[in-house]
Structure 1
Amino acid sequence: MRRLTMPIILSPNPLSSSRIGLRAVIRASQTYPVAALAARAISTSRPFARQSCFQYSAWGVARPCKASYIRNTQSLNPHSQLRTLFTFRAITHYIDIPNWYQDAEGLPFRREDLTQKEANRIFPSNLPAPQANLLLKIVHGRRVAGTLDDPILARNTKQFRIIDQKRALEYLREHIPVDEILMAGLRAEDELKALEEQEDAAQGVEKFQETSPEGSPTSSQEKTVEIPTGRLPRKPGSDSPYGESNFDKIRAANIAKREAEEARLEEERKLREEELAKENIGTLQTQQEQPRQISEFRKRHMERATSDLEAPPEMPAWQRLFPSIAMAGLVILGSIGFAVMYQAPPSSRRLWPDIPPAAATCLTLIATNVAVWALWKFPPAWAFMNKYMLLVAATPRPLQILGAMFSHQSFGHLFANMFFLWFFGTRVHDEIGRGNFLALYFSSGALGFAASLTHLVLWRGLVCTTLGASGGVYGLITAFFWMHKFDEFKIFGYPPDPLSGPQGLGFIGLILGVHLIPLFLRRTNNIDMASHFGGMLAGALGIDLARQYMDYKARARAERLNMGLLTTTVEEKDISLAAPVEESSSSPSKR
């Protein structure tokens, strides 16, 4: 078992194609200072943390094809961290309910209201965003106030459908934990105390009426019908005959704490208003209140690139999946055929004879990805890019399987994928050749997008889109470690000798663990896990097929060489045997 010692992860050969390729590019680009500077920057850059690979966006329902400014949607988790002047925490305890609380208005459950796209993901009836936020606030307030089962308050939510109320309650229970039983118990305690006070007050009124000469209540004592508020009047202190309890002390402390927090929030609100008046927009909320103005040029091309569909077309899942999956199958079969038929050209016919084939192949793929990323910054190209360079779950097209492999909308996403493509791609290329390398790369990308589309259509929903080269890149990474699954690696020389480093299988397990942990924890993110898993599966299977095919070709070549040597030996023996016969036949004539 051999040991590989390398900074980060290096192949056994000291001068890999990546280094030789970069040196050749630098020499060839001496006449172009900018290109030379970029090449040197790439050659000396350090790897950094893994970026998000496949990115989702939620334009798929109303606008399945959107322009290049598509950004990741915010998570629906109300506790997601936002960079604001202060952090927001939803009220989750009965004793923290503010005095201004009304059931018809509810309590805020997150810092900012839901957008329409987020509301559509919660409510199947596509409830308008303002109504959805109001319903969620009312339901959250009832959970904290302990009035979920109060029939008197139903009149405040009679305009909402029962299914929407159930979905709102399910969403809040999933994201904002509240002990509803405890809150209802505290509410019942206050209601009992209020009833006792009302009975005492009623007895006092009866005694007053008996002694009053008028014998009838004044106009101020007449009863009036009020809208149910869902809260009980609170009085500071305690009127219990047993004195002030520990619970009353805790309540008084919480009331004082809440009043101080409300005063602080009010002061910060005034400061934000002053900043806004001075046009000093610095927080996330004020930036969202005043969005950046879009030029007429970008707006015109954005409208051209936006679909007119108001909802995804109605069709069965197999009809939406079959054309794209069939396209992925054709790409895989075509890649296998290319690997079988490919013949490496001689050095005289290569475009860059001074650059190793592995470096030339990876540089071509990187240049293609960079060119497509640049097209996303060019508004006239948005219509074409949305149609063929972005995999849309609502309206998939077969050619999107190929186009999305080269498409990135953010530079961080592009740089991370291209770095690992160069780092691992050159090493895999050196070991299996160009034909097998390209077949492995395209097959991993195609299978990754087929798995991603299946996951989006059947489980995650039609509101998502995906793009990026991560499926192919993860296929190459898995193929490299699968080829060296029993070889030992060292990272920056650690662990030191005589300790052994982790094997290739260990790195594959680490990659799987990084992907599986968020799934078990049920954390929402914008990473296309299905595409990564599909690419890794294609990489492991594809490298085995490539190695078997290479072994088969090596055996066939050896057999041909052996047959050639055997034929040459037989011919030489025939010639040596025929030579004495000719001499014997010619000797009588000499005599």
Structure 2
Amino acid sequence: MGRMTEAVKHLLIVNVILFFATQLYGDQMYQWMSLWFPKNNNFQWWQVVTHMFMHGNLMHIVFNMYALWAFGTPLEQVWGKGKFLFFYFSAGLGSAALHTGVNYFLFNEGLSALEGAGIVRTQVLDILVNGQYSPGWYDLAPKSTIDAMLTAFNTPVVGASGAIYGILVAFAFMYSEAKLMLIFLPVPIKAKYFVPILIAVDLIFGIGNVNTGVAHFAHIGGALIGFIMMWYWKKNQFNNRRWD
């Protein structure tokens, strides 16, 4: 794999610095830099970028930074620094867009259910903005619908995982025969099978709305943008060009 490339190195440094900063300033850092639901008072426009540099715990950042180094380095060696960074942040923004879009769907589904039961929409929003909820809502709509609405509104997303999933897709495009292994399944699997399996697992959990503490649609969004870009670049022979 050779030496660590420049863009990967700088991304690692920024991520590690901000991780240690969150250990010092805690909730304030997460409030400022995590990606919140746009109707939440904590939302700020810059969070669509800053959330990519925030991580929930040590294992979260270790796994993401290892993947960035392992899969990002060979891509940057071929693409150059500028092209790699363009791809990385594009996948990260796509991740934020799909995650937020799904949250809007879940949020509005809950609002519509409560409206159908006779509660005024603005009343629900006022309660949520004040950091509260009404236990009576569970008597008016399915628990899963209300829980999904509350989670969408109140839970921010952090992590470079969306951008990393884009990198994984690009790696599978360019090094499809490379053999990779899952920690819990120590059997070598070719990248062209390994990456789709990871995405399929996220899709199953995401559609099933399984509460795993993972933003599955953020992963899928990064992977989707990564796939679209790689497909377009390959079709136009763009993969052969470097942006140094």
Q: Is the 8 A contact 1:442 1:472 kept in 2?
A: yes
Larger relative contact order (Cα-Cα within 8 Å, sequence gap ≥ 6): 2
CA radius of gyration, larger in: 1
Return the alpha-carbon distance in structure 2 between the equivalents of residues 512 and 544 of structure 1. 17
Residue by residue over 1:160-187, the C-alpha shift from the partner in whole angstroms, topping out at 9 and shown as x without a partner, is xxxxxxxxxxxxxxxxxxxxxxxxxxxx
The verdict on how the C-alpha distance between 1:397 and 1:377 changes in structure 2, with shifts beyond 3 A counting, is same
| Residues 162-181 of structure 1: pairs in structure 2 closer than 5 A | none
Of the three residues 178, 185, 197, the one matched with 1:489 is 178
Return the alpha-carbon distance in structure 2 between the equivalents of residues 403 and 514 of structure 1. 26
Of the three residues 400, 405, 408, the one matched with 2:47 is 400
The verdict on how the C-alpha distance between 1:490 and 1:445 changes in structure 2, with shifts beyond 3 A counting, is closer
State the SS of the aligned residue for 1:420: helix
State the SS of the aligned residue for 1:376: helix
- Alignment match, 1:275: none
Return the alpha-carbon distance in structure 1 between the equivalents of residues 156 and 228 of structure 2. 27
- Alignment match, 1:432: 79
Return the alpha-carbon distance in structure 2 between the equivalents of residues 515 and 551 of structure 1. 27
Structure 1 segments unaligned to the other structure (5+ residues): 1-15, 22-358, 493-500, 555-591
- Alignment match, 2:20: 374
Match status 1:469 vs 2:187: no
- Alignment match, 2:105: 458
Calculate the aligned-residue CA RMSD, in Å: 2.5
Return the alpha-carbon distance in structure 2 between the equivalents of residues 513 and 400 of structure 1. 27
Q: 1:427, CA displacement in angstroms?
A: 1.2
Q: Is the 8 A contact 2:36 2:157 kept in 1?
A: yes
Q: 1:447, CA displacement in angstroms?
A: 0.9
The one-letter amino acid of 2:12's match is I
- Alignment match, 1:478: 169
Match status 1:510 vs 2:226: no
The verdict on how the C-alpha distance between 1:463 and 1:418 changes in structure 2, with shifts beyond 3 A counting, is same
Return the alpha-carbon distance in structure 2 between the equivalents of residues 407 and 535 of structure 1. 16
Q: Is the 8 A contact 2:180 2:194 kept in 1?
A: no
Residue by residue over 1:460-509, the C-alpha shift from the partner in whole angstroms, topping out at 9 and shown as x without a partner, is 3212111110011111001110224xx433458xxxxxxxx855431232
- Alignment match, 1:568: none
The one-letter amino acid of 1:448's match is S
Q: Is the 8 A contact 2:162 2:218 kept in 1?
A: yes
The one-letter amino acid of 1:426's match is T
| Residues 538-553 of structure 1: pairs in structure 2 closer than 5 A | 538-547=225-234, 548=236, 550=238
State the SS of the aligned residue for 1:450: helix
Residue by residue over 1:560-587, the C-alpha shift from the partner in whole angstroms, topping out at 9 and shown as x without a partner, is xxxxxxxxxxxxxxxxxxxxxxxxxxxx
Return the alpha-carbon distance in structure 1 between the equivalents of residues 240 and 68 of structure 2. 28
- Alignment match, 1:228: none
State the SS of the aligned residue for 1:466: coil
Match status 1:418 vs 2:76: no
Q: 1:445, CA displacement in angstroms?
A: 0.5
What is the aligned length? 188
Q: Is the 8 A contact 1:436 1:546 kept in 2?
A: no
Return the alpha-carbon distance in structure 2 between the equivalents of residues 385 and 502 of structure 1. 36
| Residues 336-347 of structure 1: pairs in structure 2 closer than 5 A | none
The verdict on how the C-alpha distance between 1:370 and 1:551 changes in structure 2, with shifts beyond 3 A counting, is closer
Compute the TM-score of the two structures, normalised by the length of structure 1: 0.30
Return the alpha-carbon distance in structure 1 between the equivalents of residues 239 and 155 of structure 2. 43
Q: Is the 8 A contact 2:172 2:195 kept in 1?
A: yes
The verdict on how the C-alpha distance between 1:529 and 1:553 changes in structure 2, with shifts beyond 3 A counting, is closer
The verdict on how the C-alpha distance between 1:452 and 1:507 changes in structure 2, with shifts beyond 3 A counting, is same
Return the alpha-carbon distance in structure 2 between the equivalents of residues 489 and 435 of structure 1. 25
The verdict on how the C-alpha distance between 1:502 and 1:447 changes in structure 2, with shifts beyond 3 A counting, is same
Structure 2 segments unaligned to the other structure (5+ residues): 107-147, 182-187
Q: 1:385, CA displacement in angstroms?
A: 4.6
Q: 1:513, CA displacement in angstroms?
A: 2.5
Return the alpha-carbon distance in structure 2 between the equivalents of residues 473 and 483 of structure 1. 15
- Alignment match, 1:363: 9
- Alignment match, 1:335: none
Return the alpha-carbon distance in structure 1 between the equivalents of residues 49 and 205 of structure 2. 28
- Alignment match, 2:35: 391
- Alignment match, 2:132: none
Residue by residue over 1:211-253, the C-alpha shift from the partner in whole angstroms, topping out at 9 and shown as x without a partner, is xxxxxxxxxxxxxxxxxxxxxxxxxxxxxxxxxxxxxxxxxxx
Q: 1:362, CA displacement in angstroms?
A: 0.9
The verdict on how the C-alpha distance between 1:551 and 1:429 changes in structure 2, with shifts beyond 3 A counting, is closer
Return the alpha-carbon distance in structure 1 between the equivalents of residues 209 and 46 of structure 2. 32
Residue by residue over 1:293-342, the C-alpha shift from the partner in whole angstroms, topping out at 9 and shown as x without a partner, is xxxxxxxxxxxxxxxxxxxxxxxxxxxxxxxxxxxxxxxxxxxxxxxxxx
Percent of aligned positions that are identical: 24
Structure ranking higher in helix proportion:
2
Of the three residues 500, 507, 527, the one matched with 2:214 is 527
Residue by residue over 1:268-298, the C-alpha shift from the partner in whole angstroms, topping out at 9 and shown as x without a partner, is xxxxxxxxxxxxxxxxxxxxxxxxxxxxxxx
Compute the TM-score of the two structures, normalised by the length of structure 2: 0.68
